[in-house]
Structure 1
């Protein structure tokens, strides 16, 4: 196997370990009762943000993706091993905390409800390809951490505004994330186009430099009082010039369930 393939495999394993350790959907549950649908609040949010009532965790669970909702993807519920508590993730620049916390779903503000899913694209298997190309094809799969957080009043709108401001301040200067003692250097943020919900933001996130760099994708959108965040990586894409598409099928499916 060529050196580049070895490097790709090693980095892929490192990235996979990073995501297993750092994915998060932390937050508080709510004792509020009701089986209201996830679509509630969209029109209210547009007309009068202060009137928006947040969805409970139980309601967000109903609005979260399930197996079969996204063709060609495996969907599983996040568990305790996927949760990063606020104190476990630190950012060396205060202004970069919102964008850095968003990578791992760390709770921001005071959400009423939370839910999370891991969505993994099924690998591409080509039995006619040579072993190295077959391996590259199998690694070329996008995995996403999808987190939902709901807020009363204008909390969701403020969450998106805070994220937009943080990304603008930290797009080129770089910053360092520390997760349970493991440091990751974010070297560049590049804004991308995305649609969905009432407002949506997206970036290509580069961690590391040169051959050791890896691209990630971050999408955050608001639907009524709910903020949906998607943090994605692709095991087969490494290097400063590497890239992969936004997980639009996952985004569209989740927006559809939010109503």
Structure 2
């Protein structure tokens, strides 16, 4: 498969995934009760149940805005960026939490939610005159992310992250299929990566497809108190099983900082 076909595959996967990310882009008026203590709160059940979810309005204030991350364009998500549970099918039940995360499907009962699309500005690279291939590669080498915030009462956020860890571990190898409307994708591997942030954080390299048509994605999830921040990222300049790209660390750090 050559450049045009590979790019078409990446675009199809990216379009589906920009509806994305993970933890509940949907909202609810109720939340889980009881759970993990936030920093500075009392220990035990009293501290856990004291965690109160932020409202949607509060999450909007804590979300990234244009100018918060140098070199990136930030915009708000709309209804078209969020997939409903009915729109996504995962062929293995144990892979459902992580599969849903790719498309922004609601998980659990979030009290508040907010979302942003964060797109890296094109890099200015010097290319030799007439080197069309190098120029095209440079134009595609920019990372786009869907960043979502979801808040939970009690231990809802902690449970959310634990469920995602368990699902990713169970589905790391062997692959699984998922579809959204008429778009079908196959996840071939999930590899955990190092990341820091929040009270706890986890990251994975997610690969869709095989061979030259393989497309890598990055899934990063961090929890701060009762809020879960999810980052699902892709880079159209990265295609093939051996390709990769850096996590959008500046975006992750900026969002972590705004959560306090």
TM norm. shorter chain > 0.5: yes
**Structure 1 residue aligned with 2:74:** 75
Aligned-pair CA distance for 1:125: 3.0
More deviation, 242-251/119-128: 119-128
Contact 2:214 2:240 in 1 (8 A): yes
**Structure 1 residue aligned with 2:16:** 18
**Structure 2 residue aligned with 1:156:** 157
Contact 1:148 1:228 in 2 (8 A): yes
Contact 1:148 1:229 in 2 (8 A): yes
Contact 2:6 2:212 in 1 (8 A): no
Counterpart-to-counterpart distance in 2, 1:94 and 1:192: 24
Counterpart-to-counterpart distance in 2, 1:253 and 1:56: 20
Computed over aligned residues only, the root mean square deviation of the Cα atoms, in angstroms, reads 1.9
Contact 2:203 2:221 in 1 (8 A): yes
Aligned-pair CA distance for 1:29: 5.8
More deviation, 167-176/125-134: 125-134
The secondary structure found in structure 2 opposite 1:44 is: coil
Aligned-pair CA distance for 1:83: 1.3
- Which residues of structure 1 form unaligned runs of 5+? 32-40
Aligned-pair CA distance for 1:12: 3.6
**Structure 1 residue aligned with 2:198:** 197
**Structure 2 residue aligned with 1:118:** 117
Q: 1:59–1:29: structure 2 CA closer, same or farther, 3 Å change rule?
A: farther
Counterpart-to-counterpart distance in 2, 1:97 and 1:9: 27
- Which residues of structure 2 form unaligned runs of 5+? 31-37
Aligned-pair CA distance for 1:103: 1.2
1:82-115 CA deviation, whole Å, 9 max, x = no partner?
1111111121111111111111221111000000
Counterpart-to-counterpart distance in 2, 1:46 and 1:238: 47
Q: 1:54–1:207: structure 2 CA closer, same or farther, 3 Å change rule?
A: same
- Equivalent positions of 1:22-41 (< 5 A) are 22-23=19-20, 26-28=25-27
Aligned-pair CA distance for 1:165: 0.7
Count, aligned residues: 247
Contact 1:97 1:166 in 2 (8 A): yes
**Structure 2 residue aligned with 1:234:** 235
Q: 1:124–1:45: structure 2 CA closer, same or farther, 3 Å change rule?
A: farther
Aligned-pair CA distance for 1:30: 5.3
Counterpart-to-counterpart distance in 2, 1:83 and 1:143: 16
**Structure 2 residue aligned with 1:35:** none
**Structure 2 residue aligned with 1:6:** 4
**Structure 1 residue aligned with 2:35:** none
Counterpart-to-counterpart distance in 1, 2:8 and 2:174: 27
1:119-146 CA deviation, whole Å, 9 max, x = no partner?
0011113364422211110100000000
The secondary structure found in structure 2 opposite 1:243 is: coil
Q: 1:96–1:195: structure 2 CA closer, same or farther, 3 Å change rule?
A: same
Q: Does 1:85 align with 2:48?
A: no
The secondary structure found in structure 2 opposite 1:43 is: coil
1:53-89 CA deviation, whole Å, 9 max, x = no partner?
0000000000000000010000000011111111111
1:186-213 CA deviation, whole Å, 9 max, x = no partner?
0000000000000001000000011111
Aligned-pair CA distance for 1:44: 2.9
The secondary structure found in structure 1 opposite 2:240 is: coil
TM-score by length of 2: 0.89
TM-score by length of 1: 0.89
